[in-house]
Amino acid sequence: MVAEGHSWSLEGRTALVTGASSGIGRATARVFAAAGAHVFVHYFRGTDRARAVAKAIDAEGGSATLLGADLAAPGAAAEVARALSAAGRGLDILVNNVGDPIRRVAFAEVDEALLDQTVALNFKSPFLLTQALLPLLAERQGVIVNVSTALTRRAGSGGNLHYAAVKGAVNILTAGLAVELAPLGIRVNCIAPGAIDTELQARLSTPERLERSKARTLMHRLGKPEEIAQAILFAAAPASAYMTGQTIFVDGG
């Protein structure tokens, strides 16, 4: 546990981490719990994986609650807001981590269904969830951390344009929300990861593609989910109290 009063401590805070059953979200939930937060571990299909995350947090002396929802479904944001209000723990930190390119296809082959799914998961879901949770966040002068992608800097070549363009909108959402929510005392920042060793990469990347991703970084390796979780912790903790509206690229250089 990080000592209370320390600027990296989340002691006494309540956090919702979306997509915490896997990859970056799972690492973030564990890092937040170790920093002292009560963590709502959100998941969709991975009930068992989410249970394992909550169990690991528990075993490490932390505290967590499971929260299942399909965030791409209509009405999901309001349901999550109702569940969090009913839990009565308030909300200090929202990490909008859920996202997925779904498929990697050339621009000419992106059909309307794929574009709609990409927008629903990567943009509409953080947009509507943030909106639905604003009253709770405003009560605590909370913090929002969005997760986009380092592809927003390279325009998402290699079958990722549909995804990179939509994640680019998350960077803009971050900057705009920071302006709009500053009067409420709410900070909003965004972490843009490079290629990270998670289930998403295992699902969508060939070994050759992963080698190319590694070669493009100054460190010649993929990032670890825990390395992104540490950046998210910084954006969520008092350590970053004077930072808002920023997108930070954590991509191995």
Ligand X SMILES: NC(=O)c1ccc[n+]([C@@H]2O[C@H](COP(=O)([O-])OP(=O)(O)OC[C@H]3O[C@@H](n4cnc5c(N)ncnc54)[C@H](OP(=O)(O)O)[C@@H]3O)[C@@H](O)[C@H]2O)c1
Catalytically active residues are 163
**Residue 149 contacts ligand X per CB under 6 A:** yes
**Residue 160 contacts ligand X per CB under 6 A:** no
DSSP result, the chain? -PPTTSTT--TT-EEEETTTTSHHHHHHHHHHHHTT-EEEEEESS-HHHHHHHHHHHHHTT-EEEEEE--TTSTTHHHHHHHHHHHHTS--SEEEE------S---GGG--HHHHHHHHIIIIIHHHHHHHHHHHHHHHTT-EEEEE--THHHHT-TTT-HHHHHHHHHHHHHHHHHHHHHGGGT-EEEEEEE-SB-SHHHHHH--HHHHHHHHHHSTTSSPBPHHHHHHHHHHHHSGGGTT--S-EEEES--
Residue 53 C-beta: closest distance to ligand X, Å? 9
Per-residue binder mask for ligand X (CB under 6 A), 207-236, x = binder: ------------------------------
**Residue 201 contacts ligand X per CB under 6 A:** yes
**Residue 23 contacts ligand X per CB under 6 A:** yes
Residue 121 C-beta: closest distance to ligand X, Å? 6
Sole binder of ligand X in the list 15, 17, 19, 232 (CB under 6 A): 19
Q: Which stretch binds ligand X (CB under 6 A): 3-11, 43-51, 81-89, 175-183?
A: 43-51
> By CB under 6 A, what part of segment 83-122 binds ligand X?
97-100, 121
Q: Which stretch binds ligand X (CB under 6 A): 19-27, 54-62, 104-112, 132-140?
A: 19-27
Sole binder of ligand X in the list 40, 43, 123, 127 (CB under 6 A): 43
**Binding residues vs ligand X (CB under 6 A):** 19, 21-25, 43-46, 70-72, 97-100, 121, 147, 149, 193, 195-196, 198-201
